Amino acid sequence: MEVLLKEPSEHSHVPDPDRLHLIRLKNEIKSRGASSDEGASTILFDVLRTIPLTITTDLPTNDALL
């Protein structure tokens, strides 16, 4: 078995755990929008209540989320 190891590139940085919350948030909005009769603002309000406050600065605008 061959093992391939790469040297780190100049673009190396630590993972951003808050990005995972953003991805989950967007996926939840999309899936509920596709499978529900709820209004967009209702879905957005409900989903935003479940996220940690630490990621609020990284959120896109409400219009971008809708």
CA distances, 36 to each of 27, 29, 32 (Å) = 14, 10, 5
Q: What is the pLDDT of residue 39?
A: 92
10-34: per-residue pLDDT in tens?
A: 777 777 887 888 888 889 999 999 9
| Residue extents of the structural domains in the chain | 17-65
Tokens matching residue 38: 């709820």
Q: Give the pLDDT confidence score for residue 51 in this predicted structure.
A: 85
